């Protein structure tokens, strides 16, 4: 969490431009790397397990670190808002307890690990290429395939962000009465399919994704829905999706493809749906940022998609036109979850 300037600092750095405001980006970058290290070596979990604040020496003994080095790391994390401090040692802030502990239902730790170990190293390699040439030399998914362990880290990260949205998304969706068959195209971690099958006991789901994602998922299906979930590995642009589905999900998929590919994909999904079947599209949408944080988040997402996939974010108007051209009608939009710019579009075959 970047350091928050006080009133005088905001005046000097932003309003009057009398100081180098870009230093805040430097502090933010260092804060991210420091948080990633704290997650990796178990600092946050060690403090959560303790009954009281821990001194640097006591904490160092638990995480196998040097007391002096660990104290410097923790002191910086205090200024960044992740840790608290008192005379008797270090503790966790309420923010860290809510968002960065494995025991929390809203644990974003795996998402930050995903960025630290995979996305930012890929950024470092491909950002200039993507900016100069309009696309990276390979997609990040192709890079994941080179080392299957990367898929495990990625799926953990994707699952962490989906956990913030899954309840809102499932509650906002329309599942047709009597629906029994669902396909989650590009469904990766499977979290949405799991929850839909829990809430609709007559529903069975196929999670269709690339082999690396599917192989990881097969080991992660919860026991309570294992009989309702099947997986299929393939390329959803060319391989058979199946047919007579009542519901199809395209969640965080269309931003990875150009307009022609998305139009063709919508046509393939229409062919796979039964008459009256529902298609639900979840993504981030161009023009949806209304606040400084949401606008920054949307621009950050767009640059990430360019760098990792040679892709972008689309407006809902564009996607509505593709849906209508593919034979869908009754397109409805609903905002979901706490993340800026995220919404679902629903349409009926």
> Is the pLDDT confidence value at 4 over 70?
yes
Residue in the structure block whose two tokens are 């608290």: 84
pLDDT band for position 2 (cuts 50, 70, 90): low
Question: What are 258's two structure tokens?
Answer: 């150009």
Taking the C-alpha atoms of residue 11 and residue 275, their distance in angstroms, rounded to an integer, is 60
Burial class (CB in 10 A: 0-12, 13-18, 19+), 86: exposed
Question: What are 61's two structure tokens?
Answer: 């003994």
At residue 342, the 3 state secondary structure works out as strand
> Is the pLDDT confidence value at 336 over 80?
yes
At residue 1, the 3 state secondary structure works out as coil
pLDDT tens digits, 285-335:
988 877 888 888 889 999 999 999 999 999 999 999 999 999 999 999 998
Say what percent of the chain tops pLDDT 70. 99
User: What does the pLDDT read at residue 73?
Assistant: 97
For the 109-348 domain, the top CATH level (class) is alpha beta
Say what percent of the chain tops pLDDT 90. 79
Mean pLDDT confidence for 188-210: 94
User: What does the pLDDT read at residue 1?
Assistant: 59
pTM, two decimal places: 0.89
At residue 108, the 3 state secondary structure works out as coil
> Is the pLDDT confidence value at 45 over 90?
yes
Burial class (CB in 10 A: 0-12, 13-18, 19+), 66: exposed
- Please compute Rg for the chain using Cα positions: 22
Q: Which helix (H) or strand (E) holds 162?
A: helix 149-172
Which range (10-19, 234-243, 289-298) has the least confidence? Answer: 289-298
At residue 57, the 3 state secondary structure works out as helix
Best mean pLDDT range from 85-94, 211-220, 317-326, 340-349? 317-326
Instruction: Cite the residue boundaries of each domain of the chain with CATH code 3.40.50.150.
Output: 109-348
- CATH architecture of the domain covering 7-99: Orthogonal Bundle (1.10)
Of 24 and 110, more confident: 110
Instruction: Cite the residue boundaries of each domain of the chain with CATH code 1.10.10.10.
Output: 7-99
Q: Please, are residues 165 and 159 in contact by the beta-carbon 8 Å criterion? A: no
> Is the pLDDT confidence value at 86 over 90?
no
Mean model confidence pLDDT for the chain = 93
> Is the pLDDT confidence value at 345 over 70?
yes
């Amino acid at each position: 969490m970047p350091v928050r300037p006080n009133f005088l600092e905001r005046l000097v750095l932003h309003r009057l431009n009398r100081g180098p405001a870009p230093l805040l980006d430097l502090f933010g970058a260092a804060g991210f790397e420091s948080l990633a290290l704290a997650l990796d070596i178990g600092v946050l979990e060690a403090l959560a397990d303790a009954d009281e604040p821990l001194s640097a020496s006591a904490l160092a003994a638990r995480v196998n670190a040097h007391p002096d080095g660990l104290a410097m790391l923790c002191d910086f994390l205090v200024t960044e808002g992740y840790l608290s401090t008192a005379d008797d040692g270090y503790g966790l802030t309420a923010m860290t307890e809510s968002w960065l502990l494995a025991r929390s239902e809203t644990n974003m730790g795996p998402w930050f690990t995903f960025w630290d170990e995979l996305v930012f190293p890929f950024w470092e390699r491909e950002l200039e290429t993507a900016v100069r040439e309009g696309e990276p030399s390979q997609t990040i998914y192709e890079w994941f395939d080179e080392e299957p362990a990367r898929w495990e880290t990625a799926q953990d990260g994707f699952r962490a962000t989906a956990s913030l949205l899954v309840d809102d998304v499932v509650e906002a969706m329309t599942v047709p009465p009597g629906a029994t068959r669902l396909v989650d195209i590009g469904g990766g971690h499977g979290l949405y399919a799991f929850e839909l099958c829990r809430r609709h006991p007559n529903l069975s789901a196929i999670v269709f994704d690339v082999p690396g994602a599917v192989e990881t998922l097969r080991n992660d299906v919860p026991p309570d829905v294992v009989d309702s979930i099947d997986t299929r590995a393939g390329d959803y642009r060319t391989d058979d999706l199946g047919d007579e589905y009542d519901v199809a999900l395209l969640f965080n998929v269309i931003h990875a493809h150009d307009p022609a590919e998305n139009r063709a994909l919508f046509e393939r999904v229409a062919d796979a749906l039964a008459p009256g079947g529902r298609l639900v599209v979840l993504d981030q949408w161009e023009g949806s940022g209304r606040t400084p944080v949401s606008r920054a988040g949307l621009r950050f997402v767009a640059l990430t998609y360019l760098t990792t996939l040679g892709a972008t974010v689309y407006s809902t108007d564009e996607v509505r036109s593709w849906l209508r051209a593919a034979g869908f009608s009754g397109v409805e939009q609903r905002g979901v979850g706490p993340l800026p710019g995220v919404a679902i579009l629903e349409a009926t075959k």
